[in-house]
């Protein structure tokens, strides 16, 4: 939990997950979110069935939103808005990152870019990816975000014929605040099958280095993979 400037301390709330463990929040309307470390939510009055259902979010979370058709639930960050009636999904949207991803488990969501105004309606099994620089949204069936979140306490991440771009995105979620980039767009299309550790970044990078024949450059918390 942390503090923030508040006009009315009784109605403005800020909840954060610290660097070593996640946290879960359940709202009066029955909606719930489980957040990974370095994530936070904020809202003005708790979302309820009768009142406003709207929160600000940054980080990675698993959302289960109560279905109230006449009162949609809105999740906003610096770069996007997500509007839902009732659904379950995984969202990675760090305000200081380079992209956001949403994988829909159940229901229907509207995923909108604030920069470009572009929006998509996502169906179960679909993942929307937002590029912060261009504001463009792409849709795929990549479910690696689910694996990263559900196995955050496990020791391994498993991939089968997964693009290297998706592998890197999942590693960035798992190992934040470290940030991994690829040296070229073509490299992101390379497919990877194998197992990477979820608790040792340098070991994970070493596996990629030898199995995918890559080179690694590390500068503080920035990592680059290139051929």
pLDDT tens per residue across span 45-56: 778 877 889 999
Q: What is the pLDDT of residue 18?
A: 62
> At which of 118, 140, 162 does a domain end?
140
Whether the pLDDT of residue 19 is over 50: the answer is yes
Residues 64 and 155 in one domain: no
> At which of 140, 174, 205 does a domain end?
140
In a domain, 5, yes or no: no
Query: Confidence class of residue 1 from pLDDT cuts 50, 70 and 90?
Result: very low
pLDDT mean over 135-143: 93
Q: Are 66 and 87 contacting, i.e. CB atoms less than 8 angstroms apart? A: no
> At which of 140, 163, 178 does a domain end?
140
Q: What is the pLDDT of residue 203?
A: 80
Q: What is the pLDDT of residue 151?
A: 54
Residues 32 and 115 in one domain: yes
Residues 163 and 108 in one domain: no
Residues 119 and 211 in one domain: no
Residues 130 and 167 in one domain: no
Q: What is the pLDDT of residue 94?
A: 87
Q: pLDDT for 177-205, tens place per residue? A: 788 999 998 898 888 887 777 767 888 88
Name the percent of the chain lying above pLDDT 70.
88
Query: Confidence class of residue 63 from pLDDT cuts 50, 70 and 90?
Result: very high
**What's the whole-model pTM score?**
0.65
pLDDT mean over 28-45: 84
Total of domains in the chain: 2
Report helix, strand and coil shares of the chain as percent, to nearest 5.
Answer: 15, 45, 40
Q: What is the CATH number of the domain that holds 197?
A: 3.55.50.30
Residues 156 and 124 in one domain: no
- Burial 155-188, CB ≥16 within 10 A → b, else e: eebebeebbbbbbbbbbbbbbbebbbebeeeebb
Domain with 212, as residue range(s), is 151-226
In a domain, 192, yes or no: yes
What tokens appear for 93 in the block?
A: 């949207």
Q: What is the CATH number of the domain that holds 54?
A: 2.60.120.1440
């Amino acid at each position: 939990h942390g503090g923030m400037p508040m006009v009315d301390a009784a109605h403005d709330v800020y909840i954060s997950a610290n660097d070593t463990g996640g946290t879960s929040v359940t709202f009066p309307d029955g909606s719930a979110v489980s957040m990974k470390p370095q994530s936070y939510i904020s809202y003005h009055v708790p979302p309820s069935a009768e009142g406003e259902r709207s929160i600000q979010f940054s980080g990675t979370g698993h959302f289960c939103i109560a279905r109230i058709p006449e009162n949609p639930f809105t999740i906003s960050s610096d770069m996007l808005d997500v509007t839902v009636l009732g659904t379950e999904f995984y969202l990675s949207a760090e305000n200081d990152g380079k992209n956001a991803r949403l994988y829909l488990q159940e229901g229907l969501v509207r995923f909108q870019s604030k920069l470009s105004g572009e929006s998509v309606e996502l169906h179960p099994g679909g993942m929307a990816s937002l590029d912060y620089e261009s504001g463009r949204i792409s849709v795929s069936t990549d479910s690696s975000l689910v694996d990263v979140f559900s196995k955050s306490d496990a020791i391994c991440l498993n991939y089968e014929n997964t693009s290297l771009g998706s592998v890197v995105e999942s590693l960035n979620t798992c190992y934040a605040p470290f940030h991994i980039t690829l040296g070229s767009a073509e490299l992101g299309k390379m497919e990877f099958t194998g197992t990477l550790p979820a608790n040792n970044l340098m070991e994970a990078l070493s596996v990629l280095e030898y199995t995918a024949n890559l080179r690694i450059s590390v500068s503080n918390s920035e990592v680059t993979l290139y051929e």
